[in-house]
Structure 1
Amino acid sequence: MSEADGIVYSDVKFTRPKRNTSGTASSEAEPTYSEVRILKTQSSTELPGSQQHPVSNGGSKVTPERVVIVVLSALLVAAVIALGFTSLDNMHTKQSFQTLRDELEAVKRNLTDDSCTKCEYGWEQHGRQCYYFSTNYLTWSESRDECRQKGGDLVQIDSREEQTFLELKLREKMKFSEDKFWIGLTDSEKEGTWLWVDRSPLNKRLTFWSGKEPDNRAMYNPDGEDCVRMGKKAGAPDLKCWFDQSCKYTYRSICEKPAETGHFTLQCV
């Protein structure tokens, strides 16, 4: 832009009263001209040699690079979420397979331990145990030898439920009131210290002594009564039908051994 383009000329006329020679003001005005030159300058937003840019309204300027970054970030987040769901599904799948495997193993154990356990001919099964009610009248030691020859030992009573089973069975098998059966309990090593045949101590909270038993009477045997027999033909109140007796007396006995598994399994499936 030239200097002339930036100058605007304007004529401004001023009037002032015309004085006469007498010193009084005349009503006729005397014009006076004055030249006023105004320099036209550019707006502050129009700087020479620079480009005009849009004024920001406070937001960040959107560029293609930023658009690409936003898109890539969104894709990355989506990929992470997808991987998370995939991992979760895989974990649930593994847990489901493990649950099914555990259930199958439990079924197999039940079939093997319960449904497919068998006792030999002549033995009676209760749970996972087999019981043999001998018909031979033998001493306590002889009765134990007989049980061992059959693969077991004199019975060891470990629960009230087992005592109930045996007590009911003996009511059927006893021929008279003194037709009792030896069990695997003795204090022959130390008087008053009752041990089962596996040498485990008698649980005092799980005993079924009848009346004032054990009384260790030595009337007929100076060695006392160191072995235990059981049974009441008429039934025992609260299952209490244990009696100590001389180990030299002869009675029938109860043998016990675990029920057999293995080759019986196929017959039970």
Structure 2
Amino acid sequence: KNLQTLNEENAALRKTLTEVKSCSNKNLTCPEIPKVNINGPCACDEGWDEHGGKCYYFSTNKSSWTESRDECRAKGGDLVKIDNWCEQIFLRTRLNGKMENFDDMFWIGLTDAVEEGRWLWLDGSPLNTSLSFWADHEPDNWTHENPDGEHCVRLGEEEGEEPLKTWYDKFCKAPNKSICEKWVKTD
């Protein structure tokens, strides 16, 4: 079973690497990873994954966007804010094997609940449209499931021809998994 999981992760990483190489004409660069001072082998709490100076927790509890945010805050973080291509690639790669089907997605910290069409991260910063990863035909503010529309964002599987296009808007009370984020511990 472990070998099968490793083979699946390896295949996913190879696919992602191929996709990133195909995006090379976009002049993508990753930020320098901050240096951290740690005492011990890992700067993140148990159950959290470290990447780029941050710690990530992939919650498999399905709850609303607000409840997911509360869970992240109780763990000392918040729903993830995706700051660059490298972070998107890392998150997308880590989701391989954590989703059971196409609709099995993870909340992130992006919403347009304050003003329709004005997407803001939880820290109040606006979405950089040159650094967004909307799937084809998203966001669509679909009102068939909920007449109030879709004001929260989740990360899922790629759809369409462009790689890493994995963001989908959804009504905020829908139960989904979530991704929490916090800075690594610096002692």
TM-score interval w.r.t. the shorter chain?
A: 0.7 to 0.9
Establish whether residue 167 from structure 1 lines up as the match of residue 120 from structure 2.
no
Residue of structure 2 equivalent to 1:146: 71
Residue of structure 2 equivalent to 1:230: 155
Amino acid at match of 1:133: F
Shift of 1:116: 7.0
Q: CA RMSD in A?
A: 2.1
Partner SS, residue 143 of structure 2: coil
More helix by share: 1
- Alignment counterpart, residue 37 of structure 2, candidates 100, 112, 118: 112
Q: Deviations over 1:75-99 (max 9, x none)?
A: xxxxxxxxxxxxxxxxxxxxxxxxx
Residue of structure 2 equivalent to 1:199: 124
Shift of 1:258: 0.3
Q: Deviations over 1:113-141 (max 9, x none)?
A: 7x976100010111210000001100000
Residue of structure 1 equivalent to 2:24: none
Partner SS, residue 46 of structure 2: coil
Structure 1 residue runs without a partner (length 5+): 1-108, 263-269
Moved over 4 A (4+): 233-236
Establish whether residue 239 from structure 1 lines up as the match of residue 131 from structure 2.
no
| Structure with the larger RCO, 1 or 2 (CA within 8 Å, 6+ apart) | 2
8 Å contact kept, 1:133–1:255: yes
Instruction: Output the TM-score relative to the length of structure 1.
Output: 0.54
CA distance in 2 between counterparts of 1:153 and 1:232 reads 22
Residue of structure 1 equivalent to 2:23: none
Residue of structure 1 equivalent to 2:25: none
CA distance in 2 between counterparts of 1:261 and 1:176 reads 37
After TM superposition, list the pairs within 5 Å mapping 1:1-269 onto structure 2: 110=35, 112=37, 118-232=43-157, 237-262=162-187
CA distance in 1 between counterparts of 2:149 and 2:120 reads 16
Identity %: 54
CA distance in 1 between counterparts of 2:122 and 2:108 reads 9
Partner SS, residue 137 of structure 1: strand
Structure 2 residue runs without a partner (length 5+): 1-33
Partner SS, residue 126 of structure 2: coil
CA distance in 2 between counterparts of 1:219 and 1:199 reads 29
8 Å contact kept, 1:176–1:233: no
Instruction: Output the TM-score relative to the length of structure 2.
Output: 0.77
CA distance in 1 between counterparts of 2:159 and 2:119 reads 27
Amino acid at match of 2:75: K
Q: Which has the larger radius of gyration?
A: 1
Task: Tell me how many residue pairs correspond in the alignment.
Answer: 153
